[in-house]
Structure 1
Amino acid sequence: MSPALPPTPEPQAVAARYARRDAAQDAQRYSLYASASALQAQQERLRTLRRLWQAHGWHSLAGVAITEVGCGSGGNLHDLVRLGADPARLHGLELLPERAAQARERLPAAVRITAGDALQAAIAPGSQQAVLAFTLFSSVLDAAFRASLAQQMWQWVAPGGGVLVYDFTVNNPRNPDVQGVPLREVQRLFPQAQITSRRLTLAPPLARRLPAALLGPTAALLPVIVPIARTHRLSWAVKPFSQPSSS
């Protein structure tokens, strides 16, 4: 019998999960041009993000330093530029080199893109007003690594800023490579945060079955009738200006 191999480090395991996912998925399913449901979900997410940040007191993104962990090919960073963020104040971290290369190609040259493990990123503590994690934690299955990553992100955030987490809340029985991230998990990862959370995103398998002409009004009504139809949360975890005493 051959000796047991040591556990695969979590960043390598995450990269393998994404490789399997990319090989199995239809890219058109997530195309904003080809898929009406993907476009509706993106627009709802942006509206919710804008409302959360305006309620936080940010009436402009000019001068706001934002880092996204797991930026992929740069779609969210591109949205932030369109919302008025300064490209020179944006930073994307991406584990997969090929996705980082796509982000560099598609985004303004002033946006900084760093390939590699986020735990090794050279970001000064307290230097970011916002750190984004969009469908990131659901792909990190090692609980200790997930907690370390959250702690690292929390250290980067300046007091009064926060971590923005967008992820699905339920497990997918057809995909063992992901794990749902309910609100209680966000609270566990950021125990010192003041969290505002919103349920959104019509369940993608359901949304993809709706005719495009009905998707807008139906997407607004279905979650009211059947709350479970919303499968994701957008949570804004704010770092207080004064940290609670440990005594």
Structure 2
Amino acid sequence: MSQSESERIREVYKWYDQTGRGQKVWYKPTAGADFIGASIRRKIVTVLEQHGLGALSDHSILEVGCGSGAVLEYLVSLGATEEKVHGPDVIEARANEAQKKLPSGRFQCADASQLPY
């Protein structure tokens, strides 16, 4: 029987936690990581402007696979309403981390193929 995608993701993150490798590879503060983060934030603003979404506070926002909530936290800094952000993630610890960052948001452990929306 083949492993489901959500099980595969959980196994990868379990390995990251056990080896510390995820932190070393993905979260090491470097000039390159800072550049990539800034590029992503600029692209988010560009896409929002291109689609004329107006005030973010007028919208509910769903980020599937929200991880630690960094993108939603950034959107709140741009004017999104914390109570209107939703972030399912297949890794419960990451959804919990996002909930701590944005306590009024709605975060939960959920499989993207079976979202409660």
Q: TM-score, normalised by structure 1?
A: 0.43
One-letter amino acid of the structure 2 residue matched with residue 15 of structure 1? R
Post-superposition shift, 1:82? 0.7
Please point out which of 75, 84, 101 is paired with 2:79.
84
Contact 1:28 1:35 in 2 (8 A): no
Matched, 1:113 2:84: no
Please point out which of 13, 19, 38 is paired with 1:43.
38
Q: Using the alignment, how far apart are the partners of 1:75 and 1:99 within structure 2?
A: 11
Contact 2:55 2:79 in 1 (8 A): yes
Q: Using the alignment, how far apart are the partners of 2:13 and 2:77 within structure 1?
A: 27
Contact 1:63 1:89 in 2 (8 A): no
Q: What is the percent sequence identity of the aligned residues?
A: 28
Q: Once structures 1 and 2 are overlaid, which stretch shifts more, 112-121 or 91-100? A: 112-121
Q: Using the alignment, how far apart are the partners of 2:83 and 2:101 within structure 1?
A: 15
SS at match of 1:122: coil
Q: Once structures 1 and 2 are overlaid, which stretch shifts more, 45-54 or 55-64? A: 55-64
Unaligned runs of 5+ in 2: none
Two-structure CA RMSD over aligned residues (Å): 2.0
Number of residue equivalences: 116
SS at match of 1:69: coil
Post-superposition shift, 1:113? 0.1
Post-superposition shift, 1:15? 1.1
Post-superposition shift, 1:51? 1.1
Q: Which has the higher contact order (CA 8 A, sep 6+)?
A: 2
Q: Specify whether residues 15 and 31 from structure 1 end up closer, same or farther in structure 2 by C-alpha distance, changes over 3 A only.
A: closer
Q: Which residue of 2 aligns with 1:54?
A: 49
Matched, 1:98 2:106: no
Q: Which residue of 1 aligns with 2:7?
A: 12
SS at match of 1:73: coil
Q: Using the alignment, how far apart are the partners of 2:80 and 2:101 within structure 1?
A: 16
Structure with a larger share of its residues in helix: 2
Q: Which residue of 1 aligns with 2:21?
A: 25
Q: Using the alignment, how far apart are the partners of 1:72 and 1:60 within structure 2?
A: 24
Post-superposition shift, 1:24? 5.1
Deviation readout 1:74-127 (Å, 9 max, x if unpaired) = 1111111111111111100111111111111122x211001121222211xxxx
Q: Using the alignment, how far apart are the partners of 1:86 and 1:67 within structure 2?
A: 12
One-letter amino acid of the structure 2 residue matched with residue 85 of structure 1? A
Larger radius of gyration between Structure 1 and Structure 2: 1
Unaligned runs of 5+ in 1: 1-5, 124-247
Q: Using the alignment, how far apart are the partners of 2:51 and 2:101 within structure 1?
A: 30
SS at match of 1:93: strand
